[in-house]
Structure 1
């Protein structure tokens, strides 16, 4: 495995996702300042719906990613991939047309009809852009995928600034701006894949067979990814059904802050797949042990950022004070879902354990759904619903980590039980004490944690220093 190439790709991916996170945070801080709670709720509903458009490629994108992963551009079958691109465009356009028909005739109301209509448009635009992005990553051209992210996010910034300067108080122009940025991202990908489009097409029958073959390979991973987002998504849907769009918007604001960090981790970790797939079992084992130990030691420090962030947000958006109460319960998702996506999911993909990953994620969705139903419908408590989803996420990450350690024949992470205890202490402190006392006590607890594992911290710093020196 070429570590210098991997570090270079990771660096560009981190910059790209850093740009994405910064722009997302800016929009999340400024857009709700202009929109009312209900209008912002529909904006969040649109973002929520388009987060699931990946289901409609039926695994085509993931199948191509898994089948062609590690093959360079000069050896990859461009004619095949060009044909599958148009195959995907055709059947996803049919899905989009069906959803538009349902939106128009379903009697959902003008706003939900608008959101469904544009969600249908995004099924085609976003999935085609992601298809080409997955092809770039499969060829280990992850920098190109990262540049696509930068182009797309900056393309959203331009109309966003205009909308903010003109103080647009309707969510609809922001949807149009999002469509503009995604279209620019697609055009950027098409330009850099022009050699694929000039390679010609396979016969229709062969194209369908190749496309269905990719779908068969990728559908389990696609369903696993969708199930992963549904762990929190089912809670959001139940809150929308029980309490309405305003409560949905309040909860979604906190979840969106969490997703900024998660999307950063997910996109950066995708750089690892083609590199690890070319590596040896020994290198994969080393990646697991080192990354697991590093995240166990460092990620609990992330909770400290909660206190200044919530203080600043409460001054800027006082109408979302209810949302900040949810944030204390949701912030552990950044730690455990981040570990799951960066380490466990990556290893499951390299080892072609999509079926196991799917089963784990669906089990977590089931736990979240049952707990959310009990919390929302029987106990009438949003907090209970949120806690259920968080427990499912922590359990999923812990089980996956222990399973991989056992299957690789390495010892379990010694810091894991203490990390879970720190997480429970953080939530208890934030919800029972004032922010100042909670922050002071948690910092003291983390200092004790760091002292107890001081030898591991020293070894980790030595490994990081040696990696960059090499």
Structure 2
């Protein structure tokens, strides 16, 4: 594995481990001490927040594509300066107009979401810029700042025994603004930004046009993964929505573990065009995709001994985690290659098919079984279909027969032991059988992974 790629993954992985720690603490404390109604209100706000990227109309993604693989020097170009200032003016004006409309509608949660859009999209601008230019340490610091701040706010409010969802939501909005100010000041302190015109309509038009399809793809992907929550919210009661939202919150921690891979691989694919090296990375990602969902077992253990009022989320958690086996491969490898090879239209076309299919899967599964687990099954089926219709777009980068057998065997194994066994025994059985399957079906990849690990450990020992 390339040295730069390894260091990038490790740097972002450390940042995400910190994020996981604070995030897990938050997402187990809130449902433990808040009423189901307040927790559901907070989750409604966070559901809105997942679509905040739509409000920059593709500008952040256009910047991401434009500066991918470049170096971020101290003295920035005038071209970037125009891009930077145009983003600020555009988002400020757009968010202000939408906020007036939202508050006029009388929906407080929606209005607070719109007010938070400006700082959130600016924060994402910095994070995407650091990803695109390979500044992974700065990206990690931005991530840590966000996770720690939200954790601190939740902890303080819980200490004072607050159980009103609007108090938490308003606090989150304030935090988003504080984080933006910190990132903005830090960026301007470290980089000389030439003075140019503050707003360029041509720059706005070009960047939005180049990134809009990618943004739609990202939002569509988000819609695909959040569609089940919308169904639960509208078709089932508040308790079911709270239980399902809890499962999704836990699932989101897998995204924190996936981010180091997806983030660094985009920058890597921008620089490295060798298909053979891409295939090796794909094999590593496959192993990662099947090992990562084992995190569901410790979550189930916590539910069994600490948070029993959400134990009904257990089956949903395992079904959603199993879908991540396919999402990890799709997002780490194929989505990054769509971006690098400027295939946004094809990406969006395939994703549109999956959204329609996911919608139908959710309806059919709910009709067959009127339970919240039905929507999780619909999500899993959509993930599998997305994987199957994406791989033909990259004929030189596909898993072999044994590797696909391994992937689907792991899917069946994970669901069976996760649902039928208690947490401790399920984890033991899953780990043992996964290791056996790796030795039988992916022996070569296992040797390569062990060689990388041993090389890294020996290098660390020499440094000590």
The two structures share one fold, judged by TM-score above 0.5: yes
Aligned to 2:438: 450
* 1:139 lines up with 2:169 in the alignment: no
How is 1:411-450 mapped onto 2 (pairs within 5 angstroms)?
412=400, 414-432=402-420, 442-443=430-431, 445-450=433-438
Shift of 1:40: 0.3
How is 1:125-164 mapped onto 2 (pairs within 5 angstroms)?
125-164=119-158
* 1:201 lines up with 2:196 in the alignment: yes
Secondary structure of 2:111's aligned partner: helix
Aligned to 2:270: 277
- Give the one of 189, 192, 211 matched to 2:183: 189
Secondary structure of 2:402's aligned partner: coil
Aligned to 2:306: 316
Aligned to 2:67: 68
Shift of 1:249: 1.7
Indicate if the aligned counterparts of 1:266 and 1:338 stay in contact, CA closer than 8 A. no
* 1:461 lines up with 2:450 in the alignment: yes
Judging changes above 3 Å, is the alpha-carbon distance between structure 1 residues 9 and 240 closer, same or farther for their aligned structure 2 residues? same
Report how many aligned residue pairs link the two structures.
457
Shift of 1:367: 1.2
Work out the CA distance in 2 between the residues paired with 1:444 and 1:8. Answer: 30
Q: Deviations over 1:231-253 (max 9, x none)?
A: 12111111111114332221111
Work out the CA distance in 2 between the residues paired with 1:197 and 1:324. Answer: 51
Q: After superposing the two structures, state which structure 1 stretch, 38-47 or 350-359, moved more.
A: 350-359
Indicate if the aligned counterparts of 1:231 and 1:368 stay in contact, CA closer than 8 A. yes
Q: Deviations over 1:50-104 (max 9, x none)?
A: 0110011111111111112222233985433333334333343444344434433
Indicate if the aligned counterparts of 2:23 and 2:151 stay in contact, CA closer than 8 A. no
- Give the one of 336, 350, 372 matched to 1:382: 372
Work out the CA distance in 2 between the residues paired with 1:102 and 1:361. Answer: 30
Aligned to 1:16: 15
Aligned to 1:252: 245
Indicate if the aligned counterparts of 2:243 and 2:313 stay in contact, CA closer than 8 A. yes
Indicate if the aligned counterparts of 1:328 and 1:430 stay in contact, CA closer than 8 A. yes
Work out the CA distance in 2 between the residues paired with 1:57 and 1:438. Answer: 44
Indicate if the aligned counterparts of 2:301 and 2:424 stay in contact, CA closer than 8 A. no
Q: TM-score, normalised by structure 2?
A: 0.89
Judging changes above 3 Å, is the alpha-carbon distance between structure 1 residues 467 and 448 closer, same or farther for their aligned structure 2 residues? closer
Aligned to 1:220: 213
Work out the CA distance in 2 between the residues paired with 1:250 and 1:469. Answer: 45
Work out the CA distance in 2 between the residues paired with 1:413 and 1:177. Answer: 51
Aligned to 1:110: none
Indicate if the aligned counterparts of 2:289 and 2:328 stay in contact, CA closer than 8 A. no
Indicate if the aligned counterparts of 1:17 and 1:149 stay in contact, CA closer than 8 A. yes
Secondary structure of 2:197's aligned partner: coil
Q: After superposing the two structures, state which structure 1 stretch, 78-87 or 367-376, moved more.
A: 78-87
Judging changes above 3 Å, is the alpha-carbon distance between structure 1 residues 177 and 48 closer, same or farther for their aligned structure 2 residues? same
Judging changes above 3 Å, is the alpha-carbon distance between structure 1 residues 444 and 310 closer, same or farther for their aligned structure 2 residues? same
Shift of 1:420: 1.1
Shift of 1:9: 2.7
Work out the CA distance in 2 between the residues paired with 1:364 and 1:24. Answer: 29
Indicate if the aligned counterparts of 1:35 and 1:171 stay in contact, CA closer than 8 A. no
Judging changes above 3 Å, is the alpha-carbon distance between structure 1 residues 102 and 248 closer, same or farther for their aligned structure 2 residues? farther
Work out the CA distance in 1 between the residues paired with 2:401 and 2:219. Answer: 28
Judging changes above 3 Å, is the alpha-carbon distance between structure 1 residues 349 and 330 closer, same or farther for their aligned structure 2 residues? same
Indicate if the aligned counterparts of 1:156 and 1:180 stay in contact, CA closer than 8 A. no
Q: After superposing the two structures, state which structure 1 stretch, 250-259 or 320-329, moved more.
A: 320-329
Q: TM-score, normalised by structure 1?
A: 0.88
Aligned to 2:462: none
Work out the CA distance in 2 between the residues paired with 1:7 and 1:436. Answer: 32
- Give the one of 345, 352, 357 matched to 2:335: 345
Work out the CA distance in 1 between the residues paired with 2:65 and 2:457. Answer: 29
Judging changes above 3 Å, is the alpha-carbon distance between structure 1 residues 123 and 420 closer, same or farther for their aligned structure 2 residues? same
Work out the CA distance in 1 between the residues paired with 2:417 and 2:25. Answer: 29
